[in-house]
Structure 1
């Protein structure tokens, strides 16, 4: 009989094991909610599923009386626009500076600078961003950029260091100049690593976005959560949190799917 560490679940068991913890959490919430509501029907801490579905219906499929908008979708669009802009800018900057790390004359001054910047808590400079850039969209996008770009650059720098020296020497022996080595040898190695890094950066990016929206915004998922908290509207807050989680999960799947499609030869360490 194989050892427990060598036993792998089949597809049906694997699916069941994946769903089991989520089912347990849902059941625990259901029982806790029913118990609290039975004791106090006006309790707002753990709303029932019917109360949350009514809140979703009100926020997503009923026009707001004041603005005439569908708040759920408007908030989602605003947050995704900010998040997408921040991720795109971060990816572009990280890729350019990651490529630059191959050149010693650029790596020597850039590497310590990026390391120091990566140690700065991004939320600590949020007031500075609001003062310098105002309360508009730019400061919110820049918080995401400042928060995740240094980490992405350091990850790409590590990938550059992992490229076998023999590969670079062979390319130069065949007549490739520095630009050709960067584009034909290094760039294909960095692109899948960048997509992998973006997957890992999604969590912090959402955190920075929600923090910025909560402090200074008039729309967005983070803004809405912190707006309704003053009314203890958990029937709105919990669906919004679940929606953010679902959006983040879908983005993670899309990035990993794009990585597998565009770079089928790339297999990140530590599994999928």
Structure 2
């Protein structure tokens, strides 16, 4: 049997998926043990006990200065910014994407602009956002919106254009108006694609969020990482990075689960 035709079972797939993570953990443990054996005060590769102590200090002990549990304060602040930014970006993507996909006149007018916006490196305009919107929450949210919305707009518009022309002809033959065409035919078929676009945009959104928090914030996961790097506090920085990764995975899987439950017909095709 050719290798391309061999498919692992559920158990084998799970083990194969876990293998790279276990390998990384083993390699890190070996490197950390070797460095700590040479220098017990080494901060570059902290051991498991040091990272557990760091998490305990940040998540389960009150900060002496503020009295807050810093890890949870940082998590709440970052998730709030991320949620607001992604909701706004998704709403804009849905609106502009449907307009571009269904109305040829609008596509001729807006599509070049959307394409140009999607090519702008969002981090390059971060200083401009701070100048225009200030150093508060708005500039951080706007960076997420500007960084993710244009890509999602193009994806949604492409999904609309991929819909069979027979559907457009039939629904108009039945007397549907443009509004009914959008709400009853286009919108239900585009929503699951929008959720997929949001999932794909989560990685860049986290990047933009952390970059904005690192430059101007008083709380947040990105702010804390860049604050602690001054002290080489890898026992906290590494758990924070792992925590961000876990949050991203949980959000992605929740969106995936919601997509499957809300639109089973879409996912039955192997999406």
Fold match (TM-score > 0.5): yes
CA distance in 1, matches of 2:11, 2:163: 40
Structure 1 position 268, deviation (Å): 8.7
3-state SS of 2:42 partner: coil
Partner of 1:49: 48
Specify the SS of the correspondent of 2:266. Answer: coil
Task: Indicate the residue corresponding to 2:165 in structure 1.
Answer: 165
- For 2:267 and 2:255, how far apart are their aligned partners in 1? 14
Size of the alignment, in residue pairs? 270
User: Which stretch shifts more, 190-199 or 7-16?
Assistant: 7-16
SS of the residue 2:66 aligns to:
coil
- Residue 201 of structure 1 is matched in structure 2 by 201
1:79-110 C-alpha deviation (Å, 9 max, x unpaired): 00000000000011111111111111211111
Give the aligned partner of residue 217 of structure 2.
217
TM-score, normalization by structure 1: 0.97
Aligned partners of 2:182 and 2:59: how far apart in 1? 48
Whether 1:154 and 2:154 are equivalent positions in the alignment is yes
Deviation for aligned residue 1:267 = 3.1
* 1:160-209 CA distance string (max 9 Å, x none): 11011111000000010100000011101110000000000000000000
Alignment partner, residue 131 of structure 1 = 131
2:38 matches 1:36 = no
Structure 2 counterpart of 1:79: 78
Whole-Å separation in 2 of the counterparts to 1:175 and 1:92: 28
Q: Tell me the C-alpha RMSD between the 2 structures.
A: 1.1
Q: Please give the secondary structure, in 1, of the residue aligned with 2:166.
A: helix
1:64 aligned counterpart, secondary structure: coil
Gaps of 5+ in 2: none
- Structure 1: give runs of 5+ residues left out of the alignment: none
Equivalence for 2:257:
257
Distance 1:24 1:5 in 2: 25
Q: Per-residue displacement from partner, 1:112-168 (whole Å, max 9, x unpaired)?
A: 000011111101110011011100000000000000000000001110110111110
Which deviates further from its counterpart, 63-72 or 259-268?
259-268
TM-score, normalised via structure 2 length: 0.98
> Aligned partners of 1:236, 1:98: CA distance in 2, in Å?
41
Which residue of structure 2 lines up, in the alignment, with residue 121 of structure 1?
121
Alignment correspondent of 2:20: 21
Query: How many Å separate the matches in 1 of 2:125 and 2:169?
Result: 43
CA–CA separation in structure 2 for the residues paired with 1:11 and 1:124: 44
Q: Deviations over 1:205-224 (max 9, x none)?
A: 00000000000000000000
Cα distance in 2 for partners of 1:207, 1:182 equals 34
Matched, 1:182 2:182: yes
Specify whether residues 268 and 92 from structure 1 end up closer, same or farther in structure 2 by C-alpha distance, changes over 3 A only: farther
SS of the counterpart of 1:265? helix
> Displaced runs of 4+ in structure 1, greater than 3 A?
none
Residue 267 of structure 2 aligns with which residue?
A: 267
